[in-house]
Chain A
Amino acid sequence: MSSLFEVDYTLPKYQKWQLETQIKSFINDLEKSGSDDTTMTLGVSCKLTNEITLRANYIHDFNLRLGREGDILGSQLCYYGF
């Protein structure tokens, strides 16, 4: 069973800024405890121009079966335009 919940919030006074959060969970075996992969992501994005967006996020895993190096800090510079 998998579930995903995500909320985006655009700051009313600073509409170039957006806060994002996402929780993903994947229970691999409903009858086996600890068989889930559950992560939470907190993010922020800033639209520098109509074409350029800067994003950063922080990923924390509550449980991963195979484990991971640790919490992840991601970043992205994206250009998308004509």
Chain B
Amino acid sequence: MMKKLFLYTGIVALLMLLFTFKSARASGILLEGLGTRAVTMGGAFIGLADDSSAIYWNPAGLGRLKGSEWASGVYSMSTFIRDRNSASNLYPYQQNPNKGDIFPRVYPTEPTRFNNEDEFWPSCATIPAITAYKNFENFTMGGGIYAIGGNYSKWNDSLIDSTNANIDAAIRASMAIVAFNVSVAKKVTDKLSLGMGMDILYARIKGSIDKNYRGSSDPQQLDYEVRLESESDGMGLQGTMGILYEFSPQWSIGAVYRTGAKFDLNGDTYARMTVFGPDGKPITNLEEESDHHHEFVFPPSWGIGIAYKPTPRLTLATDWQRVDWTKFNWPFGNIHYNNPGVLLKNTVIDPDWYPSNGYRFGWEYKYTSRLTLRGGYCFEDSGIPGDGEDITLISIGNPIQYANVGFGYKWDIWNLDFMLGTMWGDSSGGVSHRCYDLSFTFTRPFGGESEKLPGSRATGGIETQQSFFYKELNIAPEYFLDEGHLKFRDVDAGTSLGFEYFRIFSGEYGDWLTTDLQVRFPIMGHRKRALRNAYANFNLNFDFDQKELEDILTTETMDPMYEIHNAYANFKLNAGRSNIKIGHFDVPFGLEPLIDTHSTLLQTQATKNIGFKKDWGLSVNGALPSFNYEAAATLGCGGTTKIWRKDGSYLLSGRIGTPTSEDFQYGFSLLYGRVLPALYDDYLFKNTLNRKRVGLDSQYSTVHISSRGKLLMERMKTATC
């Protein structure tokens, strides 16, 4: 009976400790910061704060920015941790929660320490971030979504005690604190900027702890199993205030204060303890579950930074930052249950953290107009008592140091910032950490400096609309020579009336939409002959069945009431570099999208090469400084008024070529699909053709001469003849 009581008491104590403290010890501290560029510079960014990450470092920096910008990136940390003592396994009365004792010892035959001393957590903190700002002359608005704290822990081990019992222990925990930020800054004078921001913080914590003891050769040492699961989340509010003063173009100084936040986290906890008899059946099973809430204090912090630009290419920066961890507590260190019980007890524990000071240094060098090199170093206290760490924690030892290097590369209007770094720390308790960090951020500026970049279509805030309405008349008779006599050719598909409505929509930053509609109304036509002509001109790798052809041609075909040629909307995105076109347009293959044959006699070989000249679908197209491109997915049956697929038709096509502004142009095209060749709305065949084509084309123009040519290869077969 005494043995059983001892066991019971020991397990209850174990659960209390697990829940009241240790499950929370897998939570973490602040991350390195926001923005690849700023983090690469060691976080020495309070005095610089000249990109959208200023919303975190110093919102006053937004006041100096022009135009607008958005940035999106990812920070990822992989951690190697070594605890020379591994996790403890002590009697409850021996445990000190502040020293990281998680698993209590129940039987004297159990070892006092586990063996697993090393853990590697790849990508244990992988965090995306989005930030943006926009300047409105006298003030600048900014905002973003990013994580300011978060960690991950995963540890497990198995032991065999002196009675050959298996002891399995494991802990899993994750925590994330995400900020939804809104900031505003004002440039008070040419030298002074003030800024403030508000972070709506959302925290989510989830964890589990398990310990199993089984198979002892001592019949008095019963098997036992404990499990704890807990999950909670909640929101808090943090304010940020900043000031930035530029003494000169070379020197600037900034200061920031963050209020910290108090969270009221709510969730539920499940705890279970089971003791098994010699026959393996439970003799005691205690289960408790309760909703809970706890106050979690996220620490206030403040800092001062200086930035110095000795040359236009070089920037040096240094910061001092202080985080007041004295008010910090772990979420589960201050917990209240709605239904407390034997296992789930209300708890308040102070982890005895202390304020930390951080010293940060960074540099940045503009190597070329496109390439910028940068690096940084940080040395700071962790705020964690040295003996308060163990292998179940991700938190870095005291002091924390990290060194980062990286680069920024400007490609066209995009900026890519990339960083590699390492972070390390050793605690007095024999725990050492080594982290490997990777971060990258894509930045896209609008307006401001971006207006100076080649290809920018900014119009200085003038919103315009240009529209053109063309009327069209074509009279195009054809004659043929028959034994020296000129006779009227009874094939006419070109005499028509029509119109074209072309419109460009422009906004603050230039054109954003181009639309075109070409419609023709045939005046006179001889459809059967036109169809016959189309058959005759169409490429087939098998012989014509003349009778079948005649049968088709003798069926009634009506001239269409109208024909739709161009009918598309081209949405300009990314300053014309990645547009989206939808509608009826030239298939981007060979010279087709480059030559306007709408009102000319000389036509391309579109019917033979593709099956039609225009098709309904969607394309992505753009004009970049060094090349143009277009890739399209279309219906594959080219109808003018019929907007649907037929016989499983589809067409994928694309062309990449040199800019159309150059005298000598060349391009490369690919086409793949299952097409149904058509003349206007008349399909030439009953079944689709599989087409695979590759093409080369070129054009050369001078003042008086323009020449063009193309060479196309094809592999084609009928799909379902």
Contacts and interface: CB of A to CB of B under 8 A. Distances in A.
A80 B472 contact: yes
Contact of B713 (A1, A5, A41): A1
A70 B536 contact: no
A37 B599 contact: no
Interface string A1-28: 1111111111110000000101010101
A28 B716 CA distance: 10
B480 A64 contact: no
A4 B711 CA distance: 7
Interface string B485-516: 01101000010000000000000000000000
Q: Which of B486, B487, B535, B537 has the most CB of A within 10 A?
A: B537
Given A2-B609, A55-B601, A57-B602, A12 B478 contact: no
A71 B591 CA distance: 26
Interface stretch (B60-68, B269-277, B644-652, B700-708): B700-708
A64 B602 contact: no
A72 B475 contact: no
B540 interface: yes
B602 A22 contact: yes
A66 B536 contact: yes
Contacts of A20: 602
Interface residues of B, number: 47
A22 B601 CA distance: 11
Interface stretch (B138-146, B364-372, B463-471, B613-621): B463-471
A61 to B, nearest CB: 11
A76 B602 contact: no
A82 B536 contact: no
B604 to A, nearest CB: 7
A10 B706 CA distance: 9
Contact of B481 (A3, A66, A73): A73
B472 A79 contact: yes
Contacts of B704: 9-12
B694 to A, nearest CB: 10
Given A28-B539, A43-B601, A79-B472, A6 B494 contact: no
Given A3-B712, A26-B539, A82-B469, A72 B478 contact: yes
A10 B612 CA distance: 30
B599 A80 contact: yes
Given A7-B706, A77-B475, A72 B540 contact: no
Contacts of A74: 476-479, 601
Interface in A49-64: 53, 55, 57, 64
Given A2-B605, A3-B712, A26-B539, A71 B481 contact: yes
B489 A72 contact: yes
B474 A76 contact: yes
Nearest to B708: A6
A5 B709 contact: yes
Contact of A77 (B470, B474, B487): B474
Contacts of B541: 28-29
Categorize the interface residue count of chain A: 35 or more
A79 B473 contact: yes
B669 to A, nearest CB: 12
B544 interface: yes
Contacts of A79: 471-474
Nearest to A29: B541
A9 B602 contact: no
Contacts of B477: 74-75
B536 A26 contact: no
B600 interface: yes
A55 B601 CA distance: 8
A19 to B, nearest CB: 10
Interface in B238-296: none
B679 to A, nearest CB: 16
Nearest to A79: B473
Nearest to B490: A69
A82 B471 contact: yes
B667 to A, nearest CB: 13
B601 A76 contact: yes
A47 to B, nearest CB: 12
B482 interface: yes
A48 interface: no
Contacts of B599: 53, 78, 80
A5 B602 CA distance: 11
B526 interface: no
Nearest to B602: A22
B494 A2 contact: no
B608 interface: yes
A76 B470 CA distance: 18
A1 B479 CA distance: 29
Contacts of B708: 4-6
B710 interface: yes
Interface of B: 468-482, 486-487, 489, 494, 535-537, 539-541, 544, 591, 599-602, 604-605, 608-609, 703-714
Given A6-B707, A74-B476, 11 more contacts: A1-B711, A1-B713, A3-B712, A28-B540, A64-B536, A69-B489, A70-B480, A72-B481, A74-B477, A76-B494, A79-B474
Sorted nearest first, the 4 A-B pairs with minimum C-beta distance are A79-B473, A76-B476, A5-B709, A69-B480
Interface of A: 1-12, 20, 22, 24, 26, 28-29, 37, 41, 43, 53, 55, 57, 64-66, 68-82
18 contacts: A2-B714, A4-B604, A6-B709, A9-B704, A9-B705, A22-B602, A28-B539, A28-B540, A37-B608, A55-B601, A66-B535, A70-B480, A73-B480, A73-B481, A75-B479, A78-B599, A80-B472, A80-B473
